[in-house]
Amino acid sequence: MKKTARRRLDLSGRVDLTHGSGGRAMAELIGQLFAAAFDNPYLAQGNDQAIVPPIGGRLAIATDSHVISPLFFPGSDIGSLAVHGTVNDLAMGGARPLYLSAGFILEEGLLLTDLQRIVESMAAAAREAGVAIVTGDTKVVERGKGDGVFISTTGVGVVPDGVNLSGANARAGDAILVSGTLGEHGMAVMSQRMSLGFASDIRSDSASLHTLADALLTACPSLRLMRDPTRGGLATTLNEIAAQSGVGMLLDETALPVSAPVRAACELLGLDPLYVANEGKLVAICAPGDAEAALAALRAHPLGHNAAIVGQVVEDAQHFVRVATAFGGERLLDWLSGEMLPRIC
């Protein structure tokens, strides 16, 4: 065997099994693609763990595995989504996001230029959110045993003293707010997947919500909880909270913000926008007396200018989520029973 100098990674190629071997090809991929894009002193330690300074306060830990198909879609891609998704899971707990880890499962045959585009999108999203990607792992599976790339991200953040948000905190009488129009992420992915030209003006809302969450926390002392309505949409998220808090919810259909293109695309496909995934919106619940202040704080933020008060928490031993319709009727928003939009995140 002859020891050779480290080669330049040839980006015109494709991922093959040697990129997951632990050997030279993997070292090249990690050093020249991942480490170059994510560059920070913790990752540069170059060990199998990153060691970061003490954190003064409670820690929030969140994880998300991303399997979205297609990998690229209007407004985002799997890379930035993998950052936003986990940053948001931290932020919804009132935490300030600090560090991310990233685990990549690559399918043999993935274009290295596609991987590079995804990694650079992740790096940009992490920089924008002020989080460092401090450690990672890369595995490669044979062609037909994966689907391009799956990315699992885990985040660590710090929870300020006095912040105690939980899905179990909603009480009858509380106000329910959403930070903007619903269903954009899901419909953007669907439109890309089904080549729906008419829906080409719908872009994913994928974004990091930690500064919006922080503004809301500051403005609203009675904030009970925040949650990002991803898979299963607003309806599923509210059902989760209703069950966790032991309450019911009553929404006002006319108050629910849905853009005209999303409404049109949903009608055509027979989908309910309240069940469609969002990746840059939050649901908040607070005491009724703070609702206007909370709304103002959301609307003052670039990611919240379409925020609305959409309903209230009610007493209900059955934990139903109901919608008062524009025509004076009422419908039940049940848990999603089947699978409407697989692999949406």
Binders in 314-333 for its own copies, by CB under 8 A: 318, 320, 332
- Only one of the segments 120-128, 193-201, 207-215, 220-228 lies at the binding site for its own copies (rule: CB under 8 A); that segment is 220-228
- Identify the H or E element spanning 265: helix 260-269
139 near its own copies, judged by CB under 8 A: yes
> Which residues in 258-297 contact its own copies (CB under 8 A)?
277
Of residues 8, 12, 144, 317, which one binds its own copies by CB under 8 A? 144
Query: Within 10 A of 127 (CB to CB), how many other CB atoms are there?
Result: 16
CB of 328 vs its own copies, minimal distance in Å: 20
Of residues 179, 181, 191, 236, which one binds its own copies by CB under 8 A? 236
CB 72 within 8 A of CB 204: no
- Taking the CA atoms of the chain, what radius of gyration do you get in angstroms? 21
Task: Calculate helix-pair angle for 291-299, 210-219, nearest 10 degrees.
Answer: 150
CB of 200 vs its own copies, minimal distance in Å: 25
CB of 252 vs its own copies, minimal distance in Å: 19
Nearer to its own copies, 149 or 310 (CB): 149
Whole-number Å distance between alpha carbons of 73 and 121: 13
Nearer to its own copies, 217 or 261 (CB): 217
Whole-number Å distance between alpha carbons of 228 and 36: 31
Nearer to its own copies, 165 or 262 (CB): 165
CB of 304 vs its own copies, minimal distance in Å: 19
CB 176 within 8 A of CB 291: no
3-state class (DSSP) for residue 302: coil
Nearer to its own copies, 103 or 293 (CB): 103
Q: Fill in the per-residue mask, 90 to 109: x = in contact with its own copies (CB under 8 A), - = not in contact.
A: x-xx-x---x-xxxxx----
DSSP letter string over 179-241?
SS-SSHHHHHHHHHHTT-GGGTT--------HHHHHHHHHH-TT--EEE---TTHHHHHHHHH
- Identify the H or E element spanning 249: strand 248-252
Q: Fill in the per-residue mask, 173 to 212: x = in contact with its own copies (CB under 8 A), - = not in contact.
A: ----------------------------------------
> Which residues in 57-86 contact its own copies (CB under 8 A)?
57-67, 69
CB of 333 vs its own copies, minimal distance in Å: 8
Instruction: Please give the sequence-ordered ranges of beta strands (E in DSSP) within 130-179, or none if there are none.
Output: 132-141, 149-159, 175-178
The token pair that represents 106 in the structure block: 């690559």
Of residues 9, 25, 249, 274, which one binds its own copies by CB under 8 A? 25
Nearer to its own copies, 52 or 287 (CB): 52
- For residue 272, give the amino acid letter: D
Please tell me the count of residues contacting its own copies according to CB under 8 A: 97
Residue 117 sits at φ, ψ, to 5 deg, of -60, -40
156 near its own copies, judged by CB under 8 A: yes
Of residues 119, 126, 131, 140, which one binds its own copies by CB under 8 A? 140
Whole-number Å distance between alpha carbons of 234 and 254: 15
CB of 260 vs its own copies, minimal distance in Å: 25
- The burial class, CB within 10 Å (0-12 / 13-18 / 19+), for 208 is buried
